[in-house]
Amino acid sequence: MSAPGKTEPTQAIARARAGDAEAWGELYREFAPAIFRFCRRALPTREDAEDATMEIFMKLRDKLGQYDQTRSFTAWLYKVAANHCWDMLRRRKIRQDKETEDVDSVPLEHPDPSQLDRLIEQRTSEEVRRALDKLGARARMALAMRYYSDMSYDEIAEALGVRRAFVGVVLLRARHELRQAMGERGALAAGGAP
């Protein structure tokens, strides 16, 4: 897994682990924008994302000594961020809203590929982001973990506390929700306004 557009700042990590405040500042400046964007995708409001970013970095600094340097720093960073965001949602019970209906009602039958193709072709990134805001907490969280921070199915399963085999179902269900949200927007845009 690689963080979006980031290389591993090995030296800064080593210095920060040794207590170098400047090195920690460097790490923060380098990764804070990415973590903030991750939180922005995963959490419902901008204020939440800001608070979560701050808290995640406080947690990261406390846990920096536990980081295994043989593994990817960005992977570890996103794991901590994902766990924090998911805990935050769980504490607020936001994520319960959709959970119960998620599990068993996933349609696995063959969709209309050309219709799907057209829908995707017509949508912009901004429309996708707006549609993401309409999704349930778990769906949004799963999509952010997979398509923003490129986490593996194993990592997603661990963060969400589900079986690995269920991750695909969660992601597919999330895509369906997203398509529905995008479809509604499209329908409104096409015929809603007088």
Partner 1 sequence: MNDSMKHVDEMTCLLYVERQLDRGRAQEVSLHTQSCAECRTLLRALERESRLLTRAMLEEEEALPARLAEFHERARRSLQWIWGAAFGLAAMALYALYTGYIEPWQQQFEQAGFGGSSLLSLLIFQGAFWKGWQSMFSFIEILAVVTLAGFVAVFLRKRLRGSSAVAMVLASLCAVLALAAPASAATEFRKGESTEIAKGEVIKGDIFLSGARVRIDGTVEGDVFAFCQSLEVNGHVTGDVIVFAKNARINGQVDGNVRSFTNTITIGGTVGKNALSFGENISVDSSGKIAGSLTSFSESLGIDGKIGRDVLAFFGRANIAGAVAGAMKAKGEVLTISAGAQVDGPIHFDGERPPEVSPQAKLASPVEFKQMEHERRRESSAGFIVWKVIWTAAVLLFGLVLFSLMPKFAQESVASAEQYGAALGLGILVFFGVFIASLIACVTIVGLPLGIASLALWCTVVFSAQIVVGTLAGQWILGRSSELGPLLGRMAMGLVIVRVAVLALGHVSVIGFLFHAGILIWGVGAISLALYRRLQPVIAPNVPSASMGTPIPPNTTVGGVQPA
Within residues 12-31, the interface with partner 1 by CB under 8 A covers: 24-25, 28-29
Q: Residues 6 or more apart from 11 whose CB is under 8 A from it?
A: 23
- Does the protein bind partner 1 through residue 110 (CB under 8 A)? yes
In the list 107, 163, 193, 194, the residue contacting partner 1 (rule: CB under 8 A) is 107
In the complex, least distance from residue 87 CB atom to partner 1, rounded to whole angstroms: 14
Scanning 9-17, 69-77, 79-87, 168-176 for contacts with partner 1 by CB under 8 A, the matching segment is: 168-176
Q: How far separated are the first and last CA of the chain, in Å rounded? A: 47
Number of CB atoms found within 10 A of residue 155's CB: 20
- The DSSP output letter for 190 is H
Contact 50, 3 (CB under 8 A): no
Residue 112: strand, helix, or coil: coil
- Does the protein bind partner 1 through residue 2 (CB under 8 A)? no
* Contact track, partner 1, 60-99, x by CB under 8 A: -x------------------------------x-------
- The H-or-E segment that residue 5 falls in is none
- Residues 142-161, interacting with partner 1 (CB under 8 A): 143-144, 147-148, 153
